[in-house]
Each structure stands twice: as structure tokens, then as C-alpha cells.
Amino acid sequence: MRSAHTVEQVREAEAALMARLPEGALMQRAAAGLAYAVIDLLGSAYGRRVLLLVGSGDNGGDALYAGTLLARRGCQVEAWLLSDKAHRAGVAALRSAGGRVTVWSRQARPPGATRPPGDAGPEVVVDGIVGIGGRGGLRVDAAAALAAVPGVPVVAVDTPSGIGVDTGELEGEHVCADVTVTFGTHKIAHLVDPAAAACGAVHLVDIGLDLPPAPVEALQPEDVAAILPRPRPDAHKYTRGVVGVRCGSAAYPGAGLLSVAGAATGLCGMVRYVGDRAVADRVREAHPEVVGDGRVQAWVVGSGGGEHAGRELADAVEDGVPVVVDADALAHVRGRLGVPGVLTPHAGELAAMLGTDRSEVEARPLAHARRAADELGAVVLLKGRHTLVAEPTGRVRATTTGVPWLATAGAGDVLGGLVGALLAAGLEPFDAASLGSWLHGAAATLASDGGPIVASEVARHVTAVVRELPARV
């Protein structure tokens, strides 16, 4: 599991570790990991040009000590100090290793800011401006320093400066990193958009922290393999679970077909379709193994349901089994469902449910997903680049699988069917939603192979993804 902890959790763990280590040892561990990550990005050390942007916090100290190690390996290292409270020992160490240190100001830029002809400038910028305890966007001077080196790859220390570390939100100007080197654990902003999009590739350096359970996490293939329901040797179709699909209509038959396609990927024992007769005929043509009405262990409701979605939701809830509520049925959720549920809105749908603007949900997806889960007493799967799955307790999983090509019509219908099948197979709503989202993204990645995809191809690749999961331990 990829775990993301809060700033407070990290600070407490760091304090406990520092109490057992020699003074400065923790910063040296972090600096070493940062320095080697910079070398990996550059491909070599000797003669390479590195610029450090250094603020007043510990991240600035990490950057300075990393710069010291890089200078000793033959890099040309320059530091621009953005605060008169920069880490003194780190500044002294860099100077003693041959690094160049200057004080930045917009009025009196350091010599490196306006480079003479023939000087190619830095090959990489290390962002040590603000630590994980920072609030709000970049200050004006810091933003100006960053703007003085446009187009240069950026390695952020712990998190890109200016982002909301505990919220995943963006509150002003911020660093957009190509690589983020973080220490001890991931931070929430590494997994939660929109801040996660500013982190680039995230590289974790283990510094020996002893941490409590994380409030935000992301499944990895080993976790998926461990959670995925698998048939017992004596299994039959009913013991593996039956999922019912109430989706599609004469106006939107494709929604029914794609919801069934997601459900009929072999993750449960049987799929039943209940809906428009014309759609049912097409479902049976495409999926002859799908049958009609009868007992189920979970329902999938809403996609393409149109004016009938409210009635279909009421009928599913009356059955007393878990329900996946998607698309048109979301507008009919007035409060707690009364049965275990997974709500699968995109940002616009969640905004309508909460009485706010879509832009607000997109700016603060973590806060809104948690709010909806708490108020509605259901698991909320908020679709996005990093889909968030929130349960009423506040625990969240972020989905990091998937490709931009997955933003295609019908992909959400397939996802609803997948989640419903996992619910019917016996998973709790939180696991079913997060596992279904992970498989959906992984199948899209496999189907895409770098090119465009359509939703039906995602469903067809789920089997291959499951086949390639690590062996269950």
C-alpha cells in the first residue's frame, strides 16, 4: 500500500526519530537521497549544473546539504537564498565544498539570474523554498526567482513549494515539479489532485520513520491481489455472487450494454439484466451468459436510466442489498440510502448533490468527497485523474492507475459494472469501489498501450489485468 500521512503525523514521527539519532543525522539521510535522485535525473554528476532555491525551512537545509554532496561529486552548484534565515550550517557546508551562494532579491538579482553570453545556465533546479508546514502559495520573491529560470527541470524537496500538503489543493502560485523527492512517507498532496499533478514523478526515500495508519492511501498490485475475491475449489456461480444491472433505456441503450460489460468480466458468478426490453435483447446478443430478473447480492443503477432512474433506484434499495448508484440515479439520492452504497459521481454530479459549483469540487476534491461520504453515509467514488474513494469515517483511497485516454464516453458505465460485480462477490463497499477503480485504470492502460481507447476495450482487458497480478501470498 502506498500510504500518505498528514504533516502532523510526519512531524511527530520525525521528532521521535530525531530524539534517538545524533543531531543532524536525519537531515543528512534526506539530503543523500535527494542528491542521488538529482544525479539519476541528470544521468551523471561531474560538470553538471545545479541551482538550489533555498528558503528558511528544513527543506532548504535538505537542499543545501544535497548541494554539498553534489558539489563534492563534481557538480557546479549555485544556491539562491530566498530568506535571511536559511540554514546556516548548510550554507557553510556548501561554500566549503566549492558551491556558490548568493542572496536573491528582485531588486538586486544574483549574478546567475542574468547570465552572460555562452553561459547555458542550470540543468536542474532544486526547489527547497518551502517545507511541508508552509501555507498558501509562493511569496512574490520566490515566484520571481522561479520565473528567472524558465524551462529548467525542477526537483522538489518533499513537496513542490506552494501546494496544500494536507489538502491536495492549490492556493496560489506554486512550483510544478518534474520530480518530487519525499522522505519517510508520501504526503497527501502526492496522491490527491490538483496538487498531485504538480508533483511529477514522486520518489520516496526511506529515512526510518515509525508512522501510524495513514488517512489516505493508494492500492498497489500486491494489495489488489490480496483483496480480490477468488473462487474456492468448491465454488459455483451462486456462491461467487450475482450482480443485477438496472441501467440503460431506449434513448441510451449503450449505457446498459457497457454497464453489463463491466459487470460481466468474470469477477462474480452471474450477471442479471433488468430494464428496457429492447436493451435486454441487445444485452443478450452481446453477452449470452447474462440472464434476467432474480435474486442478486448487489445492484448497479443509473447509467442511461433517464426518467426511469429514480424508480430503478427505489426498487434496488427495496431489495435490501448493496447498491452502486451512478449517473442519472445520483440526482435521486436525497439522503442516506438505507443499504450499503457506492455513489460514483464526477465533479459536476457531486457539485449538484452538495449544492455547490463544479469548480469548487475540482479545486477541493478531497474535502468534497469526504463531506459527501459523511453526509450521505455511503462510500463516494469521485471520478477524476486520480479518482478518490472516500468512506464515511474519512478514510480515502486514491487511484493512480489509468491514462488520459480513459476520458471517453461510457468509461464510467464500465466502472459501475466492475464495482457492482465486486460488491456481489462479497467485498465491502470501500474495497469494492477502490479495487474496481484500480482495475478500471489498469485495464485502460493495458488497452491503450499509448493510443486511444473506447470504453468497451477497457472491459475486455480486465481479465488480462487480473491474470498478471502478483501471486497471492
Angle (nearest 5°) at CA 219 between 213 and 225: 115
| Known binding-site positions | 58-62, 127, 131-137, 158, 161, 255, 304, 346, 383-387, 412-413
Which residues, including other chains, have CB under 8 Å from residue 297's CB and lie 6 or more apart? 241, 242, 243, 268, 321, 322, 423, 424, 425, 426
CATH of 2-218 given 3.40.50.10260, 3.30.450.20, 3.10.129.10, 2.40.50.220: 3.40.50.10260
Mean pLDDT by runs of 10 across the 473 residues of the chain is 97 96 94 97 97 94 98 97 93 97 72 53 96 89 95 97 97 95 98 98 96 98 97 96 97 96 98 95 96 97 95 97 98 96 98 98 98 98 98 98 97 98 98 98 98 98 97 71
| Cell 498531485, located at residue | 196
Distance CA 179, CA 199 (A): 6
Helix (H) or strand (E) holding 186: strand 186-187
| Known binding-site positions for K(+) | 59, 127, 161
Q: Identify the burial level of 303 via C-beta atoms within 10 angstroms of its C-beta, where 0-12 means exposed, 13-18 middle and 19 or more buried.
A: buried
Could you tell me what percentage of the chain is helix, strand and coil, using 3-state DSSP and rounding each to the nearest 5? 40, 15, 45
Residue 473: its pLDDT value, please?
58
| Known binding-site positions for AMP | 383-387, 412
CB contact at 8 A, 340 and 422: no
SS3 124: strand
| Known binding-site positions for (6S)-NADPHX | 58-62, 131-137, 158, 255, 304, 346, 413
Threshold 0.75, pTM exceeds = yes
Domains of the chain: which residue ranges? 2-218, 221-467
Residue 110: its pLDDT value, please?
55
CATH of domain 221-467: 3.40.1190.20
